[in-house]
Structure 1
Amino acid sequence: MAQDRPTIRLYHYPLSPFSRKVRLVLAEKRIEVELVEERYWEKEAEFLRRNPAGKVPVLRLGSRMMSESTAICEYLDETHPEPLLMPKSPEARYEVRRLVGWFDDKFHREVTEKLVGERVFRKIMGTGYPDSGNVKSGAKAIKWHLRYMEHLLEQRRWLAGGEMTLADFSAAAHISCLDYISDVDWNLSETVKDWYAKIKSRPAFRGILADTVPGFQPAPHYADLDF
């Protein structure tokens, strides 16, 4: 008798770009998963047993708990290689990893934290009102980052090269969180807008576009594929 498939469950938060990155990979590879929303900042003992770092996402595979979004994504790419999201050559994999690090570190620190963090998470976490200085800093920084993305996309079909990779999902995870609260000025770059329209139109993005956060309505164009 065939063994039952292990339970696949993702503990996530809808406006966590790291959670979204893993969700995009799971959906792109058509891996069925149960989504469990986790208010990770409350540091519940049960969640800390799943991930002592207290961060989302956490992927449960049977009895195994996996944390750190990029490590999860690369594991999924190796165990479910269709479609491949990490290139085969060391040079191409380096570029993907460089850009994943760029968005998950520099972009997150300079933009996502200062816009989504201030406008949304301060309220839901109950940590006070948005810091206007941080919001202004994030609004300024995103313009620079969009120009950098435009620079890459003027030379390549996708961010890291000729094929869609984990770098695109990492960038799109952050951009989609910002777009939810209408913090992306799409008039700044037609090139970046075209890239986002391509990735936003993929079936893997449907779950992301259906997200809602109580108390925060998505931007009117958020789920519009012809925005």
Structure 2
Amino acid sequence: MNRLYHYPLSPFSRKVRLTLAEKRIEVELVEERYWEKDPDFLRRNPAGKVPVLKMGNRMLAESGAICEYLEELHPDPPLLPKSPESRYEARRLVAWFDDKFYSEVTSRLMGERVFRKVMGTGYPDSANVKAGARAIKEHLDYMHWLLDQRRWLAGNEMTLADFAAAAHLSCLDYVSDVDWNRSETVKDWYAKIKSRPAFRSILADQVPGFPPPAHYADLDF
């Protein structure tokens, strides 16, 4: 059995979970409190980060590398386009969300509101929360601009870029940090991707001490 060491509110874990589910690869989910630096987990990934995917005798780390590995191993259904230009655009946007969006939004909102409490590292820094709340508006506007020209974020086909964005936004939506009224276009895109069978296990996530809002699992939110 394949095994994924993950944390429910890790967007990087969610991106890999979406990829596995879309490609119908069965996997056992093992929740990992990676910040506790368990020696067994550090042997699986000395970087001490989730996700880590065990496939056969191989331990795979780094979400981007894992997703591309799965794409090469199981090319159907495809999550990267055929042309080099389109593949570049999908990869560019995966990097946008996993680097820029994460540092400006996810790490500030989730990091302060959720992970400080979960990890026991003190009280939220209000300046970070305000900065994240400002930044998410700019990112939603950018997504609106992209989706105004395309069916999906990177083009007319769903790609890993959509899964990367949805992974971050679904984590933030779990704690009601997304203003879906800002853009009907972005909301419609999220409703479309949220309705995919690959999203079902993510919508069932529960984190002790942080109950999701009523709309979180609602496909007609």
> What code does the residue aligned with 2:196 have?
R
Give the TM-score normalised by structure 2: 0.99
Q: Corresponding residue for 2:28?
A: 34
Q: Corresponding residue for 2:122?
A: 128
Distance 1:83 1:77 in 2: 9
Matched, 1:198 2:215: no
Counterpart secondary structure, 1:81: coil
1:29-75 deviation line (CA, Å, top 9, x unaligned): 11100000000000111100000000000000112100000110011
Q: Corresponding residue for 1:163?
A: 157
Q: CA deviation at 1:12?
A: 0.1
Distance 1:18 1:160 in 2: 19
Distance 2:124 2:11 in 1: 19
Q: CA deviation at 1:220?
A: 1.2
Q: Percent identity?
A: 80
Q: Corresponding residue for 1:4?
A: none
Give the TM-score normalised by structure 1: 0.97
Q: How many residues align?
A: 221
Q: Corresponding residue for 1:143?
A: 137
Distance 1:172 1:17 in 2: 8
Counterpart secondary structure, 1:187: helix
Counterpart secondary structure, 1:36: strand
Cα RMSD (Å): 0.5
Q: Corresponding residue for 1:86?
A: 80
Distance 1:78 1:132 in 2: 43
Q: Corresponding residue for 2:173?
A: 179
2:216 counterpart (186, 209, 222): 222
> What code does the residue aligned with 2:8 have?
P
Distance 1:165 1:62 in 2: 26
Instruction: Note the residue ranges of structure 1 that are not aligned, 5 or more in a row.
Output: 1-6
Instruction: Note the residue ranges of structure 2 that are not aligned, 5 or more in a row.
Output: none
> What code does the residue aligned with 2:156 have?
G
